[in-house]
Each structure stands twice: as C-alpha cells, then as structure tokens.
Structure 1
Amino acid sequence: MTYATPARPLAGKVALVAGGTRGGGRGTAVALGAAGATVYVTGRSSRTAGRSPLDRPETVEETAARVTAAGGLGIPVRVDHSDPDEVRALTARIGAEQSGRLDILVNSVWGGDPLTDWEHPLWEQDLDTGLRLLRQAVETHIITSRHALPLMVAQGSGLVVEVTDGNTARYRGSFFYDLAKSAVIRLAFAQAAELREHGVAAVAVTPGFLRSEAVLDHFGVTEDTWRDAVARDPDFAHSESPAYLGRAIAALAADPDVLRWTGRALATWSLYKEYGFTDTDGTQPDFAAHWADALEPVHGPLGEPL
C-alpha cells in the first residue's frame, strides 16, 4: 500500500497517458510519476515494435523509465489509439492489474503535425489528409474515453484531461488543425456533462509555446540550450517545457475539489496562479500575458477562454 503525502499527492493513484511518447504527453506522464502515480504510458513508438509514422526516436519505454526515475511507476504499452480493439485490450489490462482502478485519463494523442497544411484554405487542401488528421487527433480521444471511462464511473471518481492548443474561439490558422483542437475542447465539455453525476471531472488543458522535442529540433537546440534560439524567434523566450503542462495537470489531479473545474478549457498560464507550480527552471511562463503585451497589436486579442 502506498500513501499520499504533500510531496507525493498522487501516491496510490493510477493514470493512463494516451500519447505519452513525447511532448506534452511525456511531460505529463513524468509529472504524474513525480507526484507518486502509477502511469500507463501509451503510444505507437516502442523499442520492440519500431517507430510510428512520425519516425521519431522517442519511445513509450523511454517515457515510462522517466516516470519511474521521477518517483512513480511507469508502465509502457505500445497502443494505436485509432484501433478500438487495442484500446479495449489496454483498458481491460489496466482494470485487471489495478483492481479496476483508473483515476486519471490524459488524452494527449496528436501526431498531426505532418498532416497540417498551414499554407492553403480548405478548398485547396487535400481532403484525405485533412480527414486523416481528424481521425488521428479526435477519433483517438473518443475511442480511448469510450473504453477507459467505465473504470472511472464504476469507482465514482476521476479526472479526464483533453490536451489541446488554445482555450479560446480564436481561429488557429489552418482549417483541419483548428477543427481538431476546437473539437477536443468540446470533447471535454461533453464528457463533463455526462460524468458530473458520477463524480468524474473532465477538462481541456492547453500549454503555451511548448518546447517539444520536435520544436527543439526545429530550432537546433536542446532543453538545456533552448535560450540560444531566442535571437532567432523572440517569442521563444516565453516558451515552456513539457514539464510545465505536466505540473499543471498533476496539480489538477491532486486537487480534492477538481470538480469545480469540470467542463472548462484551462491553460498553464492560468493554472500556475491557482496552484503555484513552476517550470523546471523556476519560472512561471505566461504566454497569454506575452500575447497581450507583444502580439496583440499585430494578431489581435487572444480572446476569452471558452
């Protein structure tokens, strides 16, 4: 038996981070582990089955090892979340291994970067590619919730987090990308409406300018040297590590009154004010404040949270 303490508020809790191979999913899995949780880390890239179509080196096993090193227990499972049979088997395994317990579900599956067309309007885009993006970024979340939620409903408690990009109605610059990220917010809203009576909360959470592995590679820097890229893009000075998103979600998961947030679209830049967490370097990035100060004159207001 493990017991929660102020340093390990999620000890004894079980989490599933769907899409935990890299980026915000990895940051979240590790933060939940640091808070003491057992974390099932899933994704399509593994040491045994090879890389996903993204062809990146990160694996579920690597993330799970980081979860364990942070103080939790990481359990890697290679899963394609677009396959209902694989997800059904995953949740059955969690139920069997954890005596029916699942406290936290983080829907962080994305993989849509190579499918996003930032250059063309809808009528000039490839339809098959756009629909593939929606299947990858939205249907995977629906499939995962469909099979994971019965565990939470049965125990009468839990938290569902839909990871998105932005928490306002502002257009995100590409038709299918905007539709996917907006739909994920609506998924949180709809799940909240159905889950409240069962004691389960559902929220959407967005990071700001996230320093994912792919973003660091784009700038030719590492997490240790990321400030070297600020000269190239001044906005990068206000970016945040994946751990910042993870700490926001871990704080929500540890909140005994998390139902007060249910149905909301939240952001790291508002949650740090509520819970007091910091990024890995001790800072508290606030991309909304940076937008208001520097970007609003050019791009217009960020908008009010949904």
Structure 2
Amino acid sequence: MNTAAVSRGSLEGRVALVAGATRGAGRAMAVELGRAGATVYATGRTTRGSVSEVGRPTETIEETAELVTAAGGTGIAVPVDHLEPERVRALVERIDRDHGRLDVLVNDVWGGDHLLDFDTKVWEVELDKGLRMLRLGVETHLITSHFALPLLIRRPGGLVVEVTDGTAEYNGPRYRGNLFFDLAKNAPIRAAFGLAEELGEYGCTAVCLSPGFLRSEEMLDAFGVREENWRDAVAREPHFAIAESPAYIGRAVAALACDPDVARWNGQSLSSGQLAIEYGFTDTDGSRPDGWRYFIEVVHGGKEATAEDYR
C-alpha cells in the first residue's frame, strides 16, 4: 500500500477520537485522519482561553480542529482533562449522540515532559512529579478506554492506538532513565496487548505505536530550530539526523485506519518507521526514517552506519 492508498475520502463516514491532540504527534495524527476524510474529535487541555500545566499557549485544540478541517476532514475541538472521568464520559456521550459510532480511538495523552528528570533514582525523584507522570501517561489512557470502548465495539473493524515512546523491542531490555517515565512509557505497550485480548471477539484491533526521534514543537524549540531548518541542530546532536516530522506518525495512523487487514497487527508494538516500510508512505521530505532500528543497531549495537542509511 502506497501513499496514494491513504487518499482523501478513504475514511469518509468514519469517526475518530484523538485524545491528546493539542500538538506534536497527537495533532499530526488528527490531521492525517482528517486528510483521509474522517470526522475527528480533538481533545486536550490547552484552548484559546485556557493553558494547561505544559505551559505552551501557542498550540491549541481549536487550531488542531481547524487543521483537520483544512486537510479535508471535519475537526471538532473538545476541551477535556482525561483525568476527569465525568468529562470523558460526557465526551463519549456527545460522540454517540452526534454520530452513533466511534471507529478509531487514539490514546495519545501525555504532557509529562516538564516533570521529567533523567538519571534520577526513584528515591531522589520528587514523588509528586513521578506520580503525576503516571497519572498523565497511564491513568488517562485507562479512563478514556473505559468510557470509549463500549461505543467503539458496536461495529467490527474498530481500531485503538495506544501511543508511547519506544517499541517493545527497544524498551524491553533498556531502562529509560527514570522509573516513573519507564513505567509510563511501557504501560501503553502492555495496554495494547491486553486490549487486543479483550477486543478480538468484537472484531476490533488494538496496537501500540511509537514515533521515532520526533521533531515536535517542543523538541524544535529545545534545539532552537524550526521545521524548515531542523538539520541545523544535527551539529549539536548528531543523532537528530534520524529525526522525523510529526506528520510521519500521522501517516502511520491513517494507514492503519485504512487497512482492511489491520487485525494482523492486533496486540503488537509498532513504530512509524516500521509501518512506513510496510505501507509505503514517507515523511514530508520523501524519506523513510527508521529511528528505533537506528538506535538499536547503531547507537546501542555498535554497527558502523549513519543516520542517512536509516532514512
């Protein structure tokens, strides 16, 4: 399947919920689902009138919804804190009332980077910060699935995408430098495995998906570059040469949602680079970066190769 297969209208009539769509991967996944024709509910805590604890007022769910609509779908922004069960319940009731169906659920809620101190022992971590990371990265996903899945399983073919950082192959043998972060980023992998067991009898599919080295808005800001000149940051961080745009994981989700045989991935841990090879889509520059393969084989494995060999 090539990029032409994920075309405008491929998901016409389908309804998606992207939980955590304010910026980065979540925004891109919402936009690419919209580009394929879906109606996309984009949720998050930062709106044009309110800023979340992440503290980035320039990215809002309203803007995400507008980008979805501009891409060819129907974007609907709904302010939701996914740690508040009643707000999530109300969101799902609204989707049911307005459409009577949910075809794709993307659990992308995170927002914990500002709490993260790497290479800090569990007894040295500020406990409130660590527990907040777990709430943001794990509890939100469970609350959302609890309320949304009864609507999704009404029709066979539903897709749940748990979004994380790192694949099972990468994370399994490696510690991610902070126990709370490690748990938060491994939990979605296990959640997809468990959901696959629960959804299979309804003809629905659950997967876990990770971007590679993501050029999110926050990451670009950290390196002092923009998307247009992101390669200027490679001098400071050579491994940034493998970085991928958020659109890449967006295209991965759209490819999964359009695949009539998506059940073959049920319960698996996947990456944007892996799916690009399988489905034939590319990043915005026409390349196919395989970030986790690069880190496994070159950075940790000692193979003599460059990032360009993995693009």
User: Normalising by the residue count of structure 1, what TM-score does the alignment of the two structures yield?
Assistant: 0.93
- Cα offset, 1:293, TM superposition: 5.0
SS of equivalent to 2:160: strand
In structure 1, the partner of 2:180 is: 176
Is the 2:6–2:255 Cα contact (8 Å) retained in structure 1?
A: no
Q: Do 1:5 and 1:11's aligned partners in 2 also have CA atoms closer than 8 Å?
A: no
Q: Which residue of 1 aligns with 2:36?
A: 35
**Inter-partner Cα distance in structure 1 for 2:71 and 2:268:** 29
Q: Counterparts of 1:107-256 in structure 2 under 5 Å?
A: 107-168=107-168, 169=172, 170-256=174-260
Q: Secondary structure at the match of 1:225?
A: helix
Letter paired with 1:284? R
**Corresponding letter in the other structure for 1:251:** A
CA contact (8 A) 2:248 2:282 kept: yes
Q: Distance in 2 between matches of 1:171 and 1:266?
A: 19
Structure 2 vs 1, CA of residues 123 and 101 (structure 1 numbering), >3 Å: closer, same or farther?
same
Work out the CA distance in 1 between the residues paired with 2:47 and 2:226.
22
Alpha-carbon distance in structure 2 between the residues aligned to 1:78 and 1:224: 30
CA contact (8 A) 2:65 2:76 kept: yes
Which sits farther off after the overlay, 120-129 or 81-90?
120-129
Partner deviation per Cα, 1:62-85 (whole Å, 9 max, x = no partner): 011111111111000000000000
Greater mean deviation of Cα atoms: 188-197 or 166-175: 166-175
Q: Note the residue ranges of structure 2 that are not aligned, 5 or more in a row.
A: 304-311
Deviation at 1:155, TM superposition (A): 2.1
Shift of 1:290: 2.3
What TM-score, normalized by structure 2, do the two folds share?
0.91
Give the letter aligned to residue 54 of structure 2: L
Asked if the contact 2:120/2:177 (under 8 Å) is kept, the reply is no
Shift of 1:292: 4.5
Q: Which amino acid aligns with 1:108?
A: D
Unmatched segments (≥5 aa) in structure 1: 300-306
Q: Superposition RMSD on alpha carbons, in Å?
A: 1.6
- Aligned partner of 1:304 in structure 2 is none
Letter in 2 for 1:65: E
1:273 equivalent in alignment to 2:274: no
Q: 1:201-252 deviations in whole A, cap 9, x for unaligned?
A: 0000001000010000001111111111111111111100111001001100
Name 1:302's counterpart in structure 2. none
Alpha-carbon distance in 2 for matches of 1:242, 1:290: 18
Per-residue CA deviation, residues 123-170 of structure 1 (Å, 9 max, x unaligned), is 221222211110111000000011100111122330000001111202
Counterpart Cα distance in 1 of 2:7 and 2:131:
45
| Cα pair 1:44 1:52 within 8 Å, conserved | yes
Per the TM alignment, residue 294 of structure 1 is displaced from its structure 2 partner at its CA by 3.2
Give the whole-Å Cα distance in 2 for the aligned partners of 1:264 and 1:292: 18
- State the AA in 2 paired with 1:88: R
**Contact 1:64-1:75 at 8 Å conserved across structures:** yes
Q: Which amino acid aligns with 2:98?
A: E
Q: How far apart, CA to CA, are the structure 1 residues paired with 2:74 and 2:93?
A: 19
Q: Distance in 2 between matches of 1:234 and 1:219?
A: 12
